[in-house]
């Protein structure tokens, strides 16, 4: 074969090898060695931690309690509607029962941030000791949750939506126009985390993150899309 | 921990090239020319400009745990990042006694409004010389998350050598504490380099 | 009868300038208990936001869940609220700043910085009564409606929320501060509620007078003092309350009961006050507090600590004096001896330092820093 063919072949081989390596190794969303939940697994859904903001003309995010209320309602009703369809035994932990688990929830939020920055982040912040794997665990601190709910797994969710107010949108257009299109300031943003935790070990088995400029959980029509995106490839039944 | 992480993210947005994460391998490691430690099992070191004079290591990521190592801090030096100049600053003084060193670190760790309660203070060896070891409990301002911490400090030839480790009380501090204590026990201050003659 | 209508009837003047007991008319009456508004309404949104803040507060490590103190304060709030008692839920919050607040959904917060500063039950009742006054007159809902901004609810709810928002408190409190008329009304109603609950309304003016002492002590004494961000003190307020009290006679102060019930927390609260690092304010407050009938040794110790930490010219001498005075009184915190020991050690009075440290260890053998202090003793014995 001539040299050019060899180079092309080499490139093809490398990319095929690379591709097959990728499909053989875990996706970044799954912990090593985990590919799915067993059928009928008992899963408890923690109350979602949702806050929705309006961005003022000056770019300052302001909490909107009414939107947050709506976001929470939407999330809950979507989960309620779908939980029976997953082949799992899923229950939702009532807000009032969540008092005892405030520390675990706060702990989970801290870990979710760490995963977002050091696993799904810019790469330069990846932690060498994690070796590119989703390898985080809350340890035996989740045993209490298992005991209280009888579940073997828990799902934690965290959503922060911000939406540009009308004034902000006007300001954005002005900035874009004045800078002749060079500066296009950010409008709204949606950041969300969801994780599946094995309650016996505290291991995070699955994690997903949304960080995008669209996404709207406060409006019923759009909330479905956020929940779907967040739980896309949720590792259901093996 | 928000402040450190916040800084990191700001720096990242501003100058992607200067943030680095490095693997610190098992065995002997020299920190800032003056402090040698021996570690069992690797750690992650995070460097970025403007993070203050401490070397920052982590096992789980900055939002979860932080190991701060101080190597040869001089009299009059501020011991933290100087970004929030409207907050009180904490400076090392070479005549500080053990109780004052603990107060200084307490002040630094509570700049962001987190709370701090010392739970133990005892004389100890650090770096091969007399020092202090202290344990503390914190609650972060941002998430109201309870943390546990341990610190070691010693003043050697008017310079500060110290190590502070913070992690959530649930799960994480117990998990990593033994290795942190081992790092502290292994610490050796390397002789003062001879100053250049004028 | 609609109370607002009644009070405005026949008079073009604002509520704030109308006396509570206009000649020939009935005295002010509290409205009937509030009903939870429809969730879809404006006000419903406010309640929902409050409920969420309340949940966060309930779960917060700063929520001081003391089985003795909480019911005691709850009871005082209840008596002030009268028929509204079942709607009032009191949360004690661990933070050295002076604040009490009541949200439209009935959640009441009382901060430890306030509990440390009031001298007796009546003074506490004055502040809580004032808050209940805002609640009964629905001032906060008025303010929100006036604010027009739809993000107001969230920010506003945040004001009543967890201590962690203290940093923004000054800003937000400024935006949603009650109007002067609202404040005057709340003062008047508070005084009335105090009196009806059997407390001496004359104590209300003292609360603000005492606060002014601290505000004025601050070197660059600013009005935007975060200590009192939500309760601006003023001479005018003090004077108005004195006038009001003149027509509201009788009632108890219950200083002893208050001192006794808060005694188990006093040292902890004083530690946190000292840690604020606002030396001049602390000294002003502690000087006043050391005239109380109970806990003198504790206040003297705390003031000594502040002097020791400030370490300005002459401060170490002042600290020694305070520590020694605390010791002379008896029942002193062991930390008084620790403080003496540290000062003697730093001024090379080795024998005195050793003696003080030894006394500290005798009184507090299990203190967190006992091992360090033992070590200091050994070093001083060489």
Hey, are the CB atoms on B170 and A113 less than 8 Å from each other? no
User: What is the reported pLDDT for B181?
Assistant: 98
Residue from B138, B146, B170, B172 to probe the interface with A (highest A Cβ count within 10 Å): B170
In this structure, is residue B198 part of a structural domain? no
Tell me, what CATH number does C308's domain have?
Answer: 1.25.40.10
Model confidence at C229: pLDDT above 60: no
In this structure, is residue C256 part of a structural domain? no
Same-domain pairing of C60 and C120: yes
Contact between B110 and B82 under an 8 Å Cβ cutoff? The reply is no
Same-domain pairing of C241 and C269: no
Has the ipTM of the complex gone over 0.85?
yes
Beta bridge partners, B156, equal: B159
Model confidence at C2: pLDDT above 60: no
Instruction: Please tell me the total count of domains within chain C.
Output: 2
Contact between A49 and A106 under an 8 Å Cβ cutoff? The reply is no
Model confidence at C1: pLDDT above 60: no
Nearest CB neighbour to A127, from listed B19, B44, B171:
B44
Instruction: State the CATH class of domain A31-230.
Output: alpha beta
The alpha carbon of residue C174 is apart from the nearest alpha carbon of chain A, in Å, by 16
Dihedral over Cα of C246, C250, C255, C261: its sign: negative
The alpha carbon of residue C335 is apart from the nearest alpha carbon of chain B, in Å, by 13
Same-domain pairing of C189 and C242: yes
Contact residues on chain C for B118, CB-CB shorter than 8 A: 368-369
pLDDT in tens, C245-271: 999 999 999 999 999 999 999 999 999
Residue that wins the pLDDT comparison between B131 and A79? B131
State the pLDDT confidence band at B154, using cuts at 50, 70 and 90. very high
User: What is the reported pLDDT for A42?
Assistant: 94
Region of poorest pLDDT, from B69-83, B170-184, C2-16, C213-227: C2-16
- Secondary structure, 3-state, chain C: CCHHHHHHCCCCCCHHHCCCCCCCCCCCCCCCCCCCCCCCCHHHHHHHHHHHHHHHHHHCCCECCCCCHHHHHHHHHHHHHHHHHHHCEEEEECCCCCCEEECCCCEEEEEHHHHHHCCCHHHHHHHHHHHHHHHHCCHHHHHHHHHCCCCHHHHHHHHCCCHHHHHHHHHHHHHHCCCHHHHHHHHHHHHHHHHHCCECCHHHHHHHHHHHHHHHHCCCCCCCCHHHCCCCCCHHHHHHHHHHHHCCCCCECCHHHHHHHHHHHHHHHHHHHHHCCCHHHHHHHHHHHCCCCCCHHHHHHHHHHHHHHHCCCCHHHHHHHHHHHHHHHCCCCCHHHHHHHHHHHHCCCHHHHHHHHHHHHHHCCCCCCHHHHHHHHHHHCC
Contact residues on chain C for B141, CB-CB shorter than 8 A: 164, 167
In this structure, is residue B194 part of a structural domain? no
State the pLDDT confidence band at C179, using cuts at 50, 70 and 90. confident
State the pLDDT confidence band at A122, using cuts at 50, 70 and 90. confident
Mean residue pLDDT of chain C comes to 85
Hey, are the CB atoms on A65 and C49 less than 8 Å from each other? yes
Nearest CB neighbour to B175, from listed A103, A128, A139:
A139
Dmax over CA atoms of chain A, in Å, equals: 73
The alpha carbon of residue B107 is apart from the nearest alpha carbon of chain C, in Å, by 9
Contact between B164 and B151 under an 8 Å Cβ cutoff? The reply is yes
Model confidence at A22: pLDDT above 60: no
Domain that includes residue C336, residue range? 264-380
User: What is the reported pLDDT for B141?
Assistant: 84
Instruction: Please tell me the total count of domains within chain B.
Output: 1
In this structure, is residue C7 part of a structural domain? no
Hey, are the CB atoms on B21 and A107 less than 8 Å from each other? no
Q: 3-class SS at A232?
A: coil
B141 touches chain C (CB under 8 A): yes
Contact residues on chain B for C57, CB-CB shorter than 8 A: none
User: What is the reported pLDDT for A27?
Assistant: 84
The alpha carbon of residue A121 is apart from the nearest alpha carbon of chain B, in Å, by 10
Hey, are the CB atoms on A64 and C154 less than 8 Å from each other? yes
User: What is the reported pLDDT for C315?
Assistant: 98
In this structure, is residue C22 part of a structural domain? no
State the pLDDT confidence band at A161, using cuts at 50, 70 and 90. confident
CA C264, C114, C67 angle in degrees (round to 5)? 40
What is the rounded distance in angstroms from the CA atom of residue C252 to the CA atom of residue C120?
Answer: 9
Model confidence at A20: pLDDT above 50: no
The alpha carbon of residue B39 is apart from the nearest alpha carbon of chain A, in Å, by 14
What is the rounded distance in angstroms from the CA atom of residue B60 to the CA atom of residue A121?
Answer: 14
Nearest CB neighbour to C58, from listed A53, A56, A99:
A99
Contact residues on chain B for A127, CB-CB shorter than 8 A: 21, 44, 58-61
Domain that includes residue B27, residue range? 2-189
Nearest CB neighbour to A62, from listed C39, C60, C155:
C155
What is the rounded distance in angstroms from the CA atom of residue B62 to the CA atom of residue A113?
Answer: 9
Query: pTM of the predicted model, to two decimals?
Result: 0.84
Q: Any residues with CB less than 8 A from the CB of C85 and at least 6 apart, and which?
A: C77, C78, C79
State the pLDDT confidence band at C372, using cuts at 50, 70 and 90. very high
Nearest CB neighbour to B144, from listed C162, C167, C369:
C162
Neighbouring chains of B at 3+ CB pairs within 8 Å?
A: A, C
Residue ranges with strand state E in A23-140: 42-45, 49-55, 61-63, 89-92
State the pLDDT confidence band at A6, using cuts at 50, 70 and 90. very low
Region of poorest pLDDT, from A184-198, A216-230, C103-117: A184-198
User: What is the reported pLDDT for C171?
Assistant: 47
Tell me, what CATH number does B128's domain have?
Answer: 3.40.1000.10
State the pLDDT confidence band at C323, using cuts at 50, 70 and 90. very high
Nearest CB neighbour to B63, from listed A114, A138, A139:
A114
Among C212, C246, C280, the domain boundary falls at C246
C153 touches chain A (CB under 8 A): yes
Q: Mean pLDDT across the stretch B92-106?
A: 96
Q: H-helix or E-strand containing B148?
A: strand B146-156
With a pLDDT cut of 70, the percent of chain C lying above it is 80
Among C246, C274, C291, the domain boundary falls at C246
Hey, are the CB atoms on A106 and B143 less than 8 Å from each other? yes
Q: How many CB atoms lie within 10 A of CB B52?
A: 19
Model confidence at B38: pLDDT above 70: yes
User: What is the reported pLDDT for B169?
Assistant: 97
In this structure, is residue C224 part of a structural domain? yes
- Tokens 């705390």 sit on residue: C302
Region of poorest pLDDT, from C94-103, C140-149, C292-301, C303-312: C140-149
Query: Which residues of C, range 257-296, sit inside 8 Å of B by Cβ?
Result: 277
User: What is the reported pLDDT for A14?
Assistant: 36
Contact residues on chain A for C55, CB-CB shorter than 8 A: 95, 99
Mean residue pLDDT of chain A comes to 82
State the pLDDT confidence band at C142, using cuts at 50, 70 and 90. confident
Region of poorest pLDDT, from A14-23, A92-101, C217-226: A14-23
Domain positions in chain A are 1-30, 31-230
pLDDT in tens, A36-59: 898 889 999 999 989 888 887 777
Contact between C86 and C263 under an 8 Å Cβ cutoff? The reply is no
Contact between C377 and C351 under an 8 Å Cβ cutoff? The reply is no
């Amino acid at each position: 074969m001539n040299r050019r063919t060899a180079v092309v072949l080499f490139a093809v081989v490398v990319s095929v090898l690379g591709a097959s390596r990728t499909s053989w190794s875990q996706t970044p969303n799954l912990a090593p060695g985990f590919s799915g939940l067993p059928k009928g697994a008992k899963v408890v859904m923690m109350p979602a931690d949702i806050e929705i903001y309006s961005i003022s003309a000056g770019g300052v995010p302001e909490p909107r309690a009414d939107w947050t209320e709506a976001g929470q309602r939407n999330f809950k009703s979507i989960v309620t509607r779908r939980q029976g369809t997953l082949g799992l035994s899923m229950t939702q932990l009532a807000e009032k029962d969540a008092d005892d688990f405030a520390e675990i929830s706060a702990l989970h939020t801290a870990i979710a941030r760490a995963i977002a920055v050091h696993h799904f982040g810019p790469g330069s912040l990846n932690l060498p000791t994690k070796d590119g794997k989703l390898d985080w665990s809350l340890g035996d601190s989740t045993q209490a949750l298992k005991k209280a709910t009888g579940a073997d797994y828990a799902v934690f969710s965290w959503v922060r939506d911000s939406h540009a107010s009308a004034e902000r949108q006007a300001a954005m257009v002005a900035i874009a126009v004045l800078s002749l299109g060079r500066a296009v300031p950010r409008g709204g943003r949606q950041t969300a985390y969801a994780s599946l935790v094995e309650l016996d070990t505290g291991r995070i088995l699955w994690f997903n993150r949304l960080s995008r400029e669209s996404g709207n959980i406060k409006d019923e029509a759009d909330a479905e899309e956020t929940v779907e995106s967040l739980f896309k490839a949720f590792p259901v039944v093996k | 921990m928000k402040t450190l992480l916040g800084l990191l993210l700001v720096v990242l947005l501003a100058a992607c090239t200067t943030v680095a994460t490095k693997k610190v391998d098992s065995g002997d490691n020299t920190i800032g020319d003056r402090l040698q430690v021996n570690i069992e099992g690797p750690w992650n070191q995070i460097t970025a400009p403007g993070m203050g004079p401490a070397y920052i290591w982590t096992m789980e990521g900055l939002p979860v745990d932080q190991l701060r190592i101080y190597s040869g801090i001089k009299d009059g030096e501020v011991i933290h990042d100087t970004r929030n100049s409207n907050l009180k600053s904490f400076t090392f003084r070479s005549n500080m006694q053990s109780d004052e060193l603990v107060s200084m670190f307490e002040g630094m760790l509570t700049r962001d409004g987190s709370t701090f309660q010392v739970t133990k203070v005892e004389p100890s060896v650090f770096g091969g010389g007399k020092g202090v070891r202290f344990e503390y409990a914190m609650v972060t301002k941002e998430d109201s998350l309870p943390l546990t911490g341990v610190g070691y400090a010693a003043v050697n030839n008017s310079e500060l050598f110290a190590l502070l480790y913070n992690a959530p009380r649930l799960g994480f501090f117990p998990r990593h504490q033994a290795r942190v204590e081992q790092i502290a026990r292994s610490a050796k201050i390397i002789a003062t380099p001879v100053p250049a003659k004028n | 009868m609609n109370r607002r209508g009644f009070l405005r009837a026949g008079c073009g003047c604002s509520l704030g300038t109308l006396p509570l007991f206009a000649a020939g008319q009935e005295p002010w009456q509290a409205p009937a208990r509030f009903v939870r508004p429809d969730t879809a309404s404006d006000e419903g949104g406010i309640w929902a936001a409050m409920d969420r803040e309340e949940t966060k507060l309930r779960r917060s490590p700063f929520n001081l869940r003391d089985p003795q103190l909480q019911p005691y304060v709850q009871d005082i709030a209840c008596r002030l609220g009268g028929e509204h008692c079942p709607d009032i839920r009191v949360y004690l919050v661990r933070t050295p700043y002076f604040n009490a607040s009541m949200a439209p959904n009935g959640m009441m917060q009382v901060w430890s910085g306030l509990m440390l500063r009031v001298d007796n039950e009546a003074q506490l009742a004055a502040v809580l009564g004032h808050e209940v006054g805002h609640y009964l007159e629905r001032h906060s809902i008025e303010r929100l409606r006036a604010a027009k901004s739809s993000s107001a609810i969230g920010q506003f709810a945040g004001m009543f929320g967890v201590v962690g928002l203290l940093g923004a408190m000054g800003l937000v409190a400024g935006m949603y501060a009650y109007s002067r008329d609202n404040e005057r009304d709340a003062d008047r109603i508070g005084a009335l509620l105090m009196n009806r609950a059997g407390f001496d309304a004359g104590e209300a003016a003292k609360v603000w007078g005492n606060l002014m002492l601290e505000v004025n002590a601050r070197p660059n004494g600013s009005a935007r003092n975060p200590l009192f961000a939500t309760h601006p003190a003023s001479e005018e307020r003090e004077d108005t309350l004195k006038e009001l009290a003149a027509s509201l006679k009788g009632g108890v102060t219950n200083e002893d009961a208050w001192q006794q019930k808060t005694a188990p927390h006093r040292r902890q609260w004083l530690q946190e006050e000292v840690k604020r690092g606002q030396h001049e304010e602390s000294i002003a407050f502690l000087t006043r507090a050391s005239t109380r009938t109970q806990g003198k040794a504790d206040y003297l110790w705390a003031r000594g600590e502040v002097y020791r930490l400030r370490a300005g010219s002459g401060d170490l001498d002042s600290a020694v004096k305070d520590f020694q005075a605390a010791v002379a009184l008896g029942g002193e915190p062991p930390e008084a001896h620790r403080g003496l020991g540290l000062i003697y050690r730093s001024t090379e009075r080795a024998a005195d330092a050793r003696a003080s440290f030894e006394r500290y260890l005798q009184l507090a053998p299990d203190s967190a820093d006992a091992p360090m202090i033992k070590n200091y003793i050994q070093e001083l014995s060489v």
